Amino acid sequence: MCNIDDDNRRIARSVTGCDLLIYLTPITFGGYSSLLKRMVDHLTQNNLPFFTMISGEIHHPHRYDHVPKLLVIGWTDKPEPEETAIFHHLVRRNAINMHFPTTVSRVINTNQRDEDLTVLLKSSLEDIEMGKSSQDAELPRLPSTQIERAPIRRALLLVGSPRGRKSTSAALGGYLAGRLTAHGIPTETIQLYPALGSRERTRSLIEAVDGSDLIVLAFPLYIDSLPGPVTRALELIAARRPTAQPAGKAKLAAFAAIVNSGLPEGEQSQTALAICAKFAQRAGFTSAGGLALGGGYTVVNGTPLDQLGWRGNSIRVSLELSAANLASGNPIPDEAVRLMAKRRVSKWMFLLLGPVTWLLKARKYGAVRTLLRQPYKA
């Protein structure tokens, strides 16, 4: 069960007992809305903490024998090919991660006629009944904004992990912030979870974003995307960004992202980085690229990178290269992306040692006998 005792436990129980699960959501930067994403994040309790191989990737096995089919309907005022592709890709990634046997995704326009919507929904349900999943969509390669970036005078680090200062996100972002400072760029750090706790803190967050020339978001991967509260922060930032450049500021501020996954393949984070790039475009930033670290829990686990020794060499070099380029107004270079994505734990080693890690942690809390239980089984 989720450690937080709220309605998400009731939802998780209902999911285990249904035959068809339907997500209905506005499309947010190619992903789900923050409201829906908060619920999706809590469904991880219906998976086991151990690991299995699916199509050459490592994932968590499902906790229950019965898994429903999934229908996901996203709506938008203005259908846009890149966001649509990201959305369909995210749904297919969720199907793998959460073991849905059949997954159908549809994108509708809020201006569509009722008759057309009826036809679309009917065909969607027919596909579900026949077990015909929607085809995967290739992630778009988003072009960089052609407007010149602003000179980097001030940077802002946003840490999007509930673990705050003890998180891998804070360790990665903090090291980059230190390198930016060494290049003469003062960098402020804001923890997003506390920043969303009050209107005053949220207002301070927006003001800090508006006053920065470079914004770096560091966050953990939650079910193929950004955590729900982090998505909420991006929604608020985008809603309050001016649609036109302020007078006297002809250049755009830059936005970069660092995502870390507990699973060893950094490739599983590409959907989240595409959502970040689309956010940058929608919110009036120029995208400066992103870094994806696989096995973040295994390699870093919140440890300051200066204390990692040889294990953190390639990670530190990646962030140092990124800082040097960002400080000079350039995007994150390909070499930094490659170094961060480097596989640090082999798949067979991860499959072998991963369960041991969970068992040791469970033993610490006297929970070894409860790891496999099915509290929502009818």
Structural domain contains residue 346? no
pLDDT > 70 fraction of the chain, expressed in percent and rounded: 95
Q: What is the mean pLDDT of residues 282-290?
A: 93
Q: How far, in Å, are 20, 31, 107, 141 from residue 23 at the CA level?
A: 10, 12, 12, 26
pTM given for the model = 0.94
With respect to residue 359, please indicate whether it lies within any of the assigned structural domains: no
* pLDDT of amino acid 144: 52
Q: What is the pLDDT of residues 30-57, one digit of tens each?
A: 999 999 999 999 999 999 999 999 988 9
282 shares a domain with 218: yes
Cβ pair 354, 51 in contact under 8 A: yes
Residue finishing a domain among 75, 96, 130: 130
126 and 160 in a single domain? The answer is no
Mean pLDDT of 152-172: 96
Phi, psi at residue 92, to the nearest 5°?
A: -65, -35
Judged against a pLDDT cut of 90, whether residue 149 lies above it is answered with: no
In the Cβ-directed half-sphere of 241, how many Cα atoms lie within 13 Å?
20
Structure tokens, 270: 């590409």
Is 112 a member of any domain? yes
- pLDDT at 369 > cutoff 50: yes
pLDDT at position 142, please?
A: 66
CA pair distance 94, 224, nearest whole angstrom: 7
Predicted pLDDT of residue 145: 47
On whether both 221 and 331 belong to a single domain, the answer is yes
Q: Is there a domain that residue 378 lies in?
A: no
Residue 284 is assigned to a structural domain of this protein: yes
Residue 250 has pLDDT above 80, yes or no: no
Q: Are 173 and 304 in the same domain?
A: yes
Give the C-alpha separation, 350 to 266, whole Å: 14
Residues 101 and 172 in one domain: no
Select from 135, 137, 175 the least CA-distant residue to 307: 175
Residue 364 lies in a domain: no
CATH number of the domain within which 41 lies = 3.40.50.360
Quick one: 42 and 162 in the same domain?
Answer: no
To the nearest 10°, report the CA torsion of 77, 79, 83, 84: 120
Burial class (CB in 10 A: 0-12, 13-18, 19+), 16: buried
Residues 171 and 301 in one domain: yes
The lowest-confidence range among 46-55, 137-146, 358-367 is: 137-146
Any domain includes 355: no
Whether residues 318 and 230 share a domain: the answer is yes
Q: Is residue 245's pLDDT more than 80?
A: no
Same domain, 300 and 178: yes
Over residues 90-105, mean pLDDT: 96
Would you call 73 helix, strand, or coil by DSSP? strand
The pLDDT score that the predictor gives to residue 92 is 96
Could you tell me if 325 and 211 lie in one domain?
Answer: yes
Instruction: Return mean pLDDT, the chain.
Output: 92
Number of CB atoms found within 10 A of residue 109's CB: 13
Out of 244-258, 265-279, 317-331, which region has the weakest mean confidence (pLDDT)?
244-258
Residue 113 lies in a domain: yes
Whole-number pLDDT of residue 148: 57
| pLDDT number for residue 160 | 98
**Are the C-beta atoms of 372 and 48 separated by less than 8 Å?**
yes
Element (H, E) at 254: strand 254-260
Range of the domain at 222: 155-341
- Average pLDDT over every residue of 352-377: 90
pLDDT of residue 60: 94
Strands (E), 77-145: 103-109
Between CA 295 and CA 288 the distance in angstroms is 23
Same domain, 120 and 179: no
d(CA 351, CA 362): 17
pLDDT at 375 over 50: yes
Same domain, 162 and 117: no
For the chain, what is the domain count?
2
- 146 — pLDDT class (breaks 50, 70, 90): very low
Residue 248, pLDDT > 50, answer no
